[in-house]
Amino acid sequence: MGDLADLLNVPPEELERLLLENQAALNQILLVLAIGSALILLLHVLFSWMLVKCGEAIPAAHRKLPPWHAWLLVIPCFNIVWNFFVYPKLAQSFRACFEARERRDAGDCGEALGMWFSITYAAGNLVPFLGPLFLLAAMLLQLQYLVRAWRLRKELLNSAPAASGSGA
């Protein structure tokens, strides 16, 4: 510790006191980061579970992606790219199912919303300085998408033919 004290031109006792004082602040920062990371992970798990349940409600013949693929969104960094597959494909699966039932009133089933979420989420993680703004937009788009997908899931489950194999 003497070498560092000499380098900073601070008496060793003063340097030790400063390090101990800052250690408490550092521990608080690490605690906040750990809690924040745990909450983010919990949200990723919850959202992935919702997407899996939505995918399971779609008959296998209309699925564009296996429902379990949504669990891959929990993997950090990988999810930035994987969003571009899961969100649009789930919407395409819903649309294929509704079209097979001759229902044209469902629109794109959130496909554009899912794509915009994927774009803003990627930008939020990759664009410096503006990242938090993109992530805020991504969060709002994701919530809209999930609400829409959950409603479509309920519609499918309430109107499911007996042999649909929905797995709900």
Please give the DSSP secondary-structure letter assigned to residue 130: T
Q: Residue length, the chain?
A: 168
Q: Which two tokens stand for residue 101?
A: 């039932």
Q: What is the pLDDT of residues 30-63, one digit of tens each?
A: 999 999 999 999 999 999 999 999 999 999 999 9
Q: What is the pLDDT of residues 57-96, one digit of tens each?
A: 999 999 999 999 999 999 999 999 999 999 999 999 999 9
Please give the DSSP secondary-structure letter assigned to residue 108: T
**Residue 1 pLDDT grade (very low, low, confident, very high; cuts 50, 70, 90):** low
pLDDT score for 3: 72
Mean of pLDDT over the chain:
89
Q: What is the pLDDT of residues 98-127, one digit of tens each?
A: 999 988 888 899 999 999 999 999 999 999
49: closest CA among 153, 134, 125, 144?
153
d(CA 26, CA 30): 6
Give me the phi and psi of 64, to 5 degrees please.
-95, -10
pTM over 0.85: no
Q: Over range 127-156, report the average pLDDT.
A: 96
Top pLDDT among 27 and 142 is at 142
CA gyration radius, the chain: 24
Give the ranges where the chain is alpha helix by DSSP (H): 2-8, 12-57, 78-100, 111-126, 131-159
d(CA 48, CA 70): 5
d(CA 138, CA 144): 10
